[in-house]
Each structure stands twice: as structure tokens, then as C-alpha cells.
Amino acid sequence: MNDDDGDVTRRELEELVLGGPRLYTRAEVAARSDVPVELADRMWRALGFADVADDDRSFTDNDVQALREAVALVEAGVVDQVTLLAMTRAMGQTLSRLAEWQVESVAELILRQGIEVSERDLFETARFLLPVLERLTRHVWRRHLVAVTGRALATTPEELTARSLGVGFADLVGFTSLSRRLTETELAGLVESFESQAADIVAAHHGRVVKTVGDEILFVAERPVDVAEIGLALAEIIGDEADLPPVRVGLACGTVLTRLGDVYGTPVNLASRLTSLARPGTVLVDRDLASELDGVDGFELRRLRRRSVRGFEHLETSLLRRAGSDG
């Protein structure tokens, strides 16, 4: 295949994914959408893309349509401009990570198979995968939308954004030193194993993964008993896995602000600090969660001495264990 054929194939692949050729400059896409260039630029950056030159034809008809529909939400009074940009930013960050993972997964598969792949092969693979992944992404999004809507209908608007939740952090012990000894492939496998097992445990006990960052996972649950079960299961199951180091878990509960899928507030900070205090394979809880779990069948709590950590003086903590466990 000569260079010209390669260039043509790359254009074909790009147009396949984008749904059409790049036709418009930033000024033209804004004009066709009847949107100020400044707002179009802000939305482009919110999606996570760098600015393009004034004469660079980077935008497609689908970009025009998407911009029109997004701004129509503001014009209809459904959202304001600040909320629109925040939503755009959240979608950009979430879908960027998804796209990175999808491309990396295909690349890793090709490497494992040790085969030569031409650009035409990649084009044919993309043509097959694109509609499948698009349908799956839409389906999963709709399922999550139903779950979130169900919770929203059961609460007031105020409770939806600020409500009482159980919050937990778990991190792998010794990850920094371990990462220095592993190859990139081994490290990627370790992180994937941790994230996969942790996500399964959280979902099995009615929780939600808020985010994962390499060796750490942040999760929430509606009920104190559920966040406690998640914390104990993480310490028990991941600690027994031969390919993973043990975890430390910190749990707290209280009023949490939820925004664009993330959580904020004192319980979140507390859970993070407790994780840093926990010993490998153990679960520490704050005073409020200990109070909620006191007397609940299946759990034991052992009060620990007060500790001071960044942001919290004389912090009351308790060690959470299953009733009847050794140690």
C-alpha cells in the first residue's frame, strides 16, 4: 500500500466515525448553528478538545446539528448556559475515557495476537464495531438513566443533589512501589483486575462506583448497611486474590453533595482520610457510620483511639469487622 492509499484510508476511517467529512471552520460551524463563536468555542473546550486554527476545516454537519440541539436546550429554558457547559464537560470527560479504553482494548488484542494489521483492516474492523458499540453505549446509558430517574422520583429536588449517603474509599496497599517493579502490561493487568473486581463487589451490594483512579476506588450506597457490606467484601475478597495486594478501606456517612455524577462533602473527605489510617485488609468507619451500624446483626465495631489527620482534629474511628471474626 502506498502513502496515498494510506491517506485515503485514514480519511475514510475518520469520515466513517464522524459520520461525514470535515467541511467547516469554527466560524462557519457557529454561523450555521446560529450560535456565537465564543459559545461554540467554550463548548468545544468543555468537550476536552484543543482550539483549532481559524482556517482549519475541522467540523462536520453532525457538529452543526449537535451544536444546534445543545443550544436549543438553553433557548427552551430546559437548562441555563452554565449547566449546559457543565453537562458538556462531564460528557466529554466520561466519553473521552471510554473512547481511550475502547481503542486501547483493540490495540492490545492485536498485540497479543501478534498479527500484521493494515489500515484497510482497521477500517473494516471499525465499520463492524462502530454500530455495535454505539448501540451498546446507548442501551447502557438508558439503563442507568432509568435507575437515576427512579431515585429522583423518590426524592425531592433538594434531596437529589444533597442527601445522606454512605461513602467509601478503597486503595491497593503498596501500589506505588509495586508499579515500579511491574512491566507496563503487568501493571495494566493489575489495575484492570482491581477495577473489575471492585466494581462487581460494589454493584452486588447495591452501591455505585463514583470513580476509579488507578489504585483507588470511590463508591457510595444509599444505606449504611450496604456501604458496610461493600467495604468488608472489598477487604475480604481482594485481600485473598493472589494477583492483587490487600486493600485499605475507609467508610463514612452523612450529607453529601452530588453533582454531575461526582460526590463532595465532609463524609467524602472523612472516608479518604480513614483509608490512609487503615491497616492492610481492614475497614475503618467514622463516628456517624459506627452509630448507624451499632447493634446491627452481622457487624462488630471496635472503638479506636482518637487520631488527628489533615482537616480533622481528634477523629473518632472504629474498626469494622464481621460478627464472630477472628482478630
Same-domain status, 163 and 122: no
Q: Give the integer Cα–Cα distance in Å for 25 and 40.
A: 11
Last residue in a domain, options 153, 168, 203: 153
> How many CB atoms are located within 10 Å of the residue 25 CB?
18
Task: Give domain status of residue 137, yes or no.
Answer: yes
Same-domain status, 182 and 231: yes
Same-domain status, 108 and 202: no
Same-domain status, 135 and 199: no
Same-domain status, 206 and 110: no
Last residue in a domain, options 102, 124, 153: 153
Which position has the grid cell 472489598?
Answer: 234
Task: Give domain status of residue 240, yes or no.
Answer: yes
Task: Give domain status of residue 327, yes or no.
Answer: no
Same-domain status, 114 and 175: no
Q: What is the pLDDT of residue 217?
A: 93
Number of compact structural domains in the chain: 2
Task: Give domain status of residue 129, yes or no.
Answer: yes
The residue range of the domain holding 55 is 3-153
Q: CA distances (Å), 21 to each of 15, 24, 59, 61, 151, in order?
A: 5, 9, 8, 8, 41
Q: 191, 196, 197: which is closest to 176 by C-alpha? A: 191
Q: 14, 120, 10: which is closest to 62 by C-alpha? A: 14
Same-domain status, 144 and 175: no
Query: pLDDT tens digits, residue range 143-200?
Result: 988 887 876 666 666 555 678 899 999 999 988 888 888 887 788 788 888 888 899 9
Q: 281: domain CATH number? A: 3.30.70.1230
Same-domain status, 142 and 174: no
Give the mean pLDDT per block of 10 residues along the chain (327 residues): 53 89 94 92 89 92 94 91 88 86 80 75 85 92 84 63 88 85 82 87 92 89 95 88 84 88 90 93 95 93 85 86 78
- Quote the cell numbers at residue 101: 479504553
Last residue in a domain, options 132, 153, 174: 153
Instruction: Determine contact, residues 220/210, Cβ cutoff 8 Å.
Output: yes
Same-domain status, 313 and 180: yes
Query: pLDDT tens digits, residue range 282-301?
Result: 999 999 999 999 999 999 99
**Angle in degrees, CA 71, 77, 81, rounded to 5:** 50
Beta carbons within 8 Å of 322's beta carbon, 6+ residues apart? 232, 298, 299, 300
Angle in degrees, 0-180, between the axes of helices 81-113 and 61-75, rounded to the nearest 10: 150
Same-domain status, 85 and 20: yes
Task: Give domain status of residue 255, yes or no.
Answer: yes
Give the end-to-end CA distance of the chain in Å, rounded to a whole number. 67
Q: What is the pLDDT of residue 221?
A: 94
Single-letter residue type at 320: L
Same-domain status, 42 and 130: yes
Using H for helix, E for strand and C for coil, what is the string for the chain? CCHHHHHHHHHHHHHHHHCCCCCECHHHHHHHHCCCHHHHHHHHHHCCCCCCCCCCCCECHHHHHHHHHHHHHHHCCCCCHHHHHHHHHHHHHHHHHHHHHHHHHHHHHHHHHCCCCCHHHHHHHHHHHHHHHHHHHHHHHHHHHHHHHHHHHCCCHHHHHEEEEEEEEEEECCHHHHHHHCCHHHHHHHHHHHHHHHHHHHHHCCEEEEEEECCEEEEEECCHHHHHHHHHHHHHHHHHCCCCCCEEEEEEEEEEEEECCEEECHHHHHHHHHHHHCCCCCEEEEHHHHHHHCCCCCEEEEECCCEEECCEEEECEEEEEECCCCC
Same-domain status, 85 and 216: no
Task: Give domain status of residue 293, yes or no.
Answer: yes
pTM over 0.95: no
Q: What is the pLDDT of residue 2?
A: 42
Rounded to whole angstroms, the maximal C-alpha distance in the chain is 74
Q: For CA atoms 204, 150, 195, 277, give the dihedral sign.
A: negative
